[in-house]
Amino acid sequence: MLPKTTIEQWIVLKTVTECGGYMKAAEVLNKSQSSVSYALNTLQERLGVKLLHVVGRKAELTEVGRTMLSQAIPLISAYNQLEQSAEGLKSGIRSSLNLVVNSIFPKSLLIVALKRFQERYPQTRIHLTEILRTESEKVLTDRNADLYITPLNPTISAPGVHLLDMDFIIVTAANHPLQRLPSLITANQLSQYPLITLTDKVTQHQEIKKVSAMSNWSFTTIEAVIEAVCQGVGYGWLPKAHIQPMLDSGKLKILNVSLQQTRRTVFYLVFGNNGQFYDKTVIALSDILKEEVENHIQVNWID
């Protein structure tokens, strides 16, 4: 059965209530005052309820009108989005994108980039999935996403565009016994304490089954890894971008080790398939991400 009312009638009702009267609403809608009045009369007649009443010179919603309009507003918004989506599709803009991001990638940088993209392409929905480094090979092999932000292992044969270098430094809590050792800390001395690592659940389960002389703790979120190190249960290689405030406050301290103190991880932009190189929307998102990295490249927490 076809609806009794039209979306245009509900838009007229919304505009009249926002403007407070028929004359101003007619100007906003670029219609005659009589056509505005006709649309509202028809709407009320078809529904069989009174939606508006006039108080002085102002048109106000009745209780029923307030309830009905509150339900209609999301429909008006959805209708507008539907038309914007059609315009986007006509011009080659995607209705949705799948983005896969390594969980270590700086959140503030990512969110700013996504906000910019959303403002430029409001009709495009982004489906964001976070992964760990140990999951990269599988997701890149599957290639179910449009764009990836991830390190590339030597075993992964995926062409990537350089995006960002991130330093990982070896740290403990300030009061950890390793910090009290007088000389350079050796690998043997490190092995006496738990190494706190980040890994996915499958790898975590596999590691549990291994017999190791070292007592290693693995977590599935970087927040848990940082918290464990801060609590003094072990040492870890942590992203400097995430822990700079804790280094500045003295809560965490870099270990004076005989091996290298810093490890660098390179993040790449990887396209889902060769066709994405020519996809207008995917290219726009990748360009915004690269611009945000460039904008923040001089900030201390990104080396």
Burial class (CB in 10 A: 0-12, 13-18, 19+), 272: buried
Whether pTM exceeds 0.75? no
* Confidence band of 160 (pLDDT split at 50, 70, 90): confident
99 φ/ψ sector (left φ>0, alpha ψ -120 to 50, else beta): beta
Residues 39-94 have pLDDT tens digits of 999 999 999 999 988 887 788 899 998 999 999 999 988 887 777 666 656 666 78
Upper half-sphere CA count for residue 109 (Cβ side, 13 Å): 26
Place of tokens 């910019």: 116
Domain boundaries, the chain: 7-90, 97-303
Q: Assign a CATH topology to domain 97-303.
A: D-Maltodextrin-Binding Protein; domain 2 (3.40.190)
- Contact yes or no for 198/225 (Cβ under 8 A): yes
pLDDT of residue 59: 84
Res. 14: pLDDT tops 70: yes
Residue 300's pLDDT band, with cuts at 50, 70 and 90, is very low
Looking at domain 7-90, which of 1.50.10.20, 3.40.1190.20, 3.40.50.300, 1.10.10.10 is its CATH number?
1.10.10.10
Strand positions, DSSP E, the chain: 52-55, 58-61, 96-102, 125-131, 147-150, 160-173, 196-198, 217-219, 236-239, 252-254, 262-271
Q: Map tokens 């904008």 to a residue.
A: 295
